[in-house]
Amino acid sequence: MPEVRWSPVDQDDVFSQRIREQWTDQLGRRLDILIAGCGRGGTLDVGRYDVRITGVDEDLPPLREHAAARDDLAMCHLGDLRLAPIAPRSFDVIYVSFLLERVRNAELVLDRLVAGLRPGGLLLLKMRDGRSAYGFCDRVTPRWLRRPLWKALAPAGSVGPLPGVYEPITTREGFQAYCLMRGLMISEDYSAVSGPARRGPRGELVSLVCRTVAALSRGRLNGVEDEITLVVRRPQNHFARLI
């Protein structure tokens, strides 16, 4: 297994660098990019490269509104992500942006996305950590309380509130096991703090709650970082397991 790189550098810069390297490796051929989670945000710095970007996400009102306002997508599909029209081996880069923690059947959805990745292609992933105190609070907050809390805690203009499902794959260990079973290689692994409520008007209070929940969990939950960022590659090796 290749060495996994850990670094405090800005993850968006890392993604930009990996896209630039992918462009160079392909000798200037157009990059086909899929953004899964395009309704929440999920923008990529693609420089001046020749790219074609497709977006997919669930069909929920706040996601639909944001996706319709984007001008960087050549195509966009909203609906059941298990049925998204993704042709096999059709993308050089797939960016999964805070999607897995809010959908059911997350592993099946990810299978469909990864099937669309060309050999040697990149899977760039950001997800909320199910083993973080922030993720735990997001998961256990009842549906009726999510909207008033979102209005009180989230920064103005944030897309939400969105479901908090957090299946086993939304932990570092769960995703590592998934990659092992699918023959995918994790080359870079980062942690960060990015929960929307932590950037809102009561961010200090939210951080205090997270630290308290982590302490009550006796170390099972991370009270600081709440984001997992990964750079994953689908091998060129013909003997690697194919989906």
- Written as tens digits, the pLDDT of the chain (243 aa) is 444 544 444 556 889 889 888 888 877 789 999 999 999 877 888 878 889 999 999 999 989 999 988 989 999 999 999 999 999 999 999 999 999 999 999 999 999 999 999 999 999 999 999 999 999 999 999 999 999 999 999 999 899 999 999 999 999 999 999 999 999 999 999 999 999 999 999 999 999 999 999 999 999 999 999 999 999 999 986 544 544
User: Position of tokens 């939950």?
Assistant: 221
Domain limits of the chain? 11-128+166-193+227-233
> For 92, what's the count of Cα atoms within 13 Å in the CB-facing half-sphere?
21
CATH number (3.40.50.12280, 3.30.420.240, 3.40.50.150, 3.40.367.20) of 11-128+166-193+227-233 reads 3.40.50.150
- 82-106 residues labelled b (16+ CB within 10 A) or e (exposed): eebebeeeebbbbbbbbbbbbbeeb
Question: CA 121 to CA 93: how far, in whole Å?
Answer: 6
User: Position of tokens 């735990």?
Assistant: 136
Q: Using CA atoms of 15, 136, 182, 57 in order, give the dihedral in degrees to the nearest 10.
A: -60
Question: CA 141 to CA 122: how far, in whole Å?
Answer: 34
pTM over 0.95? The answer is no
